[in-house]
Copies of this chain bind each other. A is one copy, B any other.
Amino acid sequence: SVNPDLASERQTASFSVEKLTALLDGGTEQTRIRRAVVEAIESDPVFSRENQYFQTQNERYEAAVRKAVHLQKKVHDMGWTENGPEYKYIYRALSGDVAFLLHRVFMRSISVLGSDKQIAKWIPLATQHKLIGSYAQTELGHGTYLQGLETTAVFDTATQEFILNTPKISAMKWWPGDMGRSATHTVVFAQLYIHEKCYGIHPFIVQIRSLQDHSLCPGVTAGDIGPKMNFEHIDNGYLLLKNVRIPRENMLSKFCEVRPDGTYVRQGSQKINYFTMTTVRISLISDEVLTPLMKACTIAIRYSVVRRQSKLKPGEQEAKILDYQTQQEKLLPQLAAAYAFHFINDYLQELFNRGYREIQRKNFDRLPELHALSSGFKAVITQHSTAGVEICLRACGGHGYSLLSGLPSLYTKILASCIYEGENTILLLQTARFLIKCFMAVSAGQPVPPSVTYLAAMKPGKCPAKNKLDFLSPDIYTEAYQHVAVRLISSTAVKLQDLIQSGVKKHDAWNQCTVQLVQAAKAHCHYIAVKNFAETVEKLETKAGIQKIMKHLCDLFALHGIFSNTGAFLHDGYTSAAQMDMVTASYLDLLAVIRKDAVPLVDAFDFTDKSLNSALGSYDGQVYQRLYEWAQKSPTNQMSPAYERYLKPLLHNTLSKL
């Protein structure tokens, strides 16, 4: 039975939840397929996450390996193929709780970096799981800065082998997933040396464990890097190589080859490689960032209509905590952001599909723009979403702090997305570099890519809003965001130029501008996200109330951004103080409007109870019963030796009756 405090929230929905779900999925047929995959996975006990919060790191790893192995069978039994429509839902249905994700990266790196001959040899072996692959790039001493990697691969002409070494401790491979305990093979990135000349970083296929008994190969030291904030199910590993010899054919050689005599030959364009990195950054947004944010919103909002605390009005029943303005102000902007990011993700996907078609036609013109957008949005979305999940956790008070709420593990996992696949600050600076370059080009009257043509449109004007309702006009707020982005980019470009002209060396000048460059890159992405949300809303069908509620969310997303960052809008007087008060008023009004639809808006995300795995967020809202039931299953409720060992001796002088 559904908690009446939750049930009542659903009766007043201003729109069709089912239609919104279909919109998010990209059509009713997609919804049907997704639900079928979820049903198939969740009905299979091997994939259960029931005891997850009680398991040790070792138990989590065992379970993830078991699931990965079972998944092969499941995929086969269900007839799901890699190009079929079901495939993309599997990972979400598993909540990512499965091993061998790096096996796919191993395969992709061979497909992209390997010669046709190498692909023909290794891909079938990997596909049939005759080996388990990993991808060994990051070292103890080097992450983002790939050129600094220290592992060496020296070509030995006599034996036609590469000799791989970890010359010092900071060169040890560190973090690669699936490598600590599972992988038999890995792609090692190392500095290539031929006749004592260094040719830079190249990829090599290295076997690290025996296929007979899984023991480490000669010269290989490997193991697990130990406990992390999350990812207990993954055996992130370390790898130390001592004179490990591999045949010449194991250097992935689509772009670079070492001939038998030691001649180094570079062939083809490596530009496609940058595109791959770009694709990875975009592809992680949906599963690793949006899904956790949407889950956190679902849990926190459902809980906030079931939890009653204190009285809003004297003499009345205690109020649902979502009726407090402060609680709305915590949660509803996160909900709006989840929708905003969903739509910007659609936009990026579409952009990348187009980019990919161009690249297949050997047209690399759009690559810099794609790289800048993927870097900037990866950083902005991961950062914003991580903060959002944390806000959801805190907004649930003590119960949010219990692992049983599901929120702590969502938080500790999404936090990693700010670090992996490019640390966010570094990514934002890459976006900033592109923006500064484009600003210079625009200033010189040269053409620039579509997403930055607005830089040419810098107008001195003022925000034309006259009352608080004007701030519910997308033209008004989009223009304001654009103005701020242009101002921050141009003023930082000017500072940079001034510093250089005053004699500061170029690299020092850049470093002295980086705090502001990061702000400029964020402003650019924020502007595009707002603009895209507004454009998306405009295109929605006006039926079934969906356009209306999406318009509210778009307004909230935009006004929350202004309200939280008023200085950027006030700075040059584009927005006046009186206008800022209008923004605040409209923003606070919107909270009360969206609050009415808050539960239907999270219901539309369509998470099953099993996928939420939360005592606070289930569809029926029976929070307290579930917390109690789950707690009783905790291993901390088994007999503890502490009483016999420590407490009994301490209490030995007790009175039989106090």
Contacts and interface: CB of A to CB of B under 8 A. Distances in A.
Interface of A: 53-54, 56-58, 61-62, 65-66, 68-69, 72, 125, 128-132, 138, 140-145, 148, 169-170, 172, 174-175, 180-182, 184-185, 207, 211-212, 214, 223-229, 235, 238, 307-310, 312-314, 318, 323-327, 329-330, 390, 394, 397-398, 400-404, 408, 412, 415-416, 418-420, 423, 425, 429, 505, 507-508, 511-516, 518, 565-573, 577, 580, 584, 588, 624-625, 627-628, 630-638, 640-643, 645-651, 653-656, 658
B325 A636 contact: no
Contacts of A512: 325, 588
A565 B566 CA distance: 8
Contact of A318 (B148, B326, B653): B148
A329 B428 CA distance: 15
A56 B53 contact: no
List the number of copies, as a whole number.
Answer: 2
A624 B635 CA distance: 35
Nearest to A63: B642
A224 B169 CA distance: 43
B318 A145 contact: yes
Given A62-B646, A214-B648, 5 more contacts: A227-B402, A238-B631, A312-B508, A329-B515, A515-B588
B132 A651 contact: yes
A169 B646 contact: no
A654 B214 CA distance: 11
A588 B514 CA distance: 10
B130 A654 contact: yes
B642 A62 contact: yes
Given A238-B628, A645-B66, A148 B310 contact: yes
A584 B491 CA distance: 13
A128 B652 CA distance: 11
B181 A640 contact: yes
A58 B398 contact: no
Nearest to A516: B584
A225 B307 CA distance: 19
A227 B423 contact: no
Nearest to A128: B653
B223 A631 contact: yes
Contacts of A423: 397
A34 B471 CA distance: 58
A363 to B, nearest CB: 31
A654 B131 contact: yes
Contacts of A404: 226-227
A145 B398 CA distance: 13
Contact of A425 (B326, B398, B630): B326
B511 A646 contact: no
Pick the most buried of A132, A408, A429, A641: most chain B CB atoms within 10 A of its CB.
A408
Contact of A227 (B66, B144, B180, B634): B634
A398 B420 contact: yes
A580 B516 CA distance: 13
Given A394-B418, A418-B394, A65 B642 contact: yes
A112 B12 CA distance: 50
Contacts of A312: 507-508, 511
Nearest to A68: B646
Q: Which 6 A-B pairs have the closest CB atoms?
A: A566-B567, A226-B634, A567-B567, A211-B654, A224-B636, A227-B403
Nearest to A402: B228
B130 A653 contact: yes
B567 A573 contact: no
Contacts of A310: 144-145, 148
A599 to B, nearest CB: 20
Contacts of A169: 624-625, 628
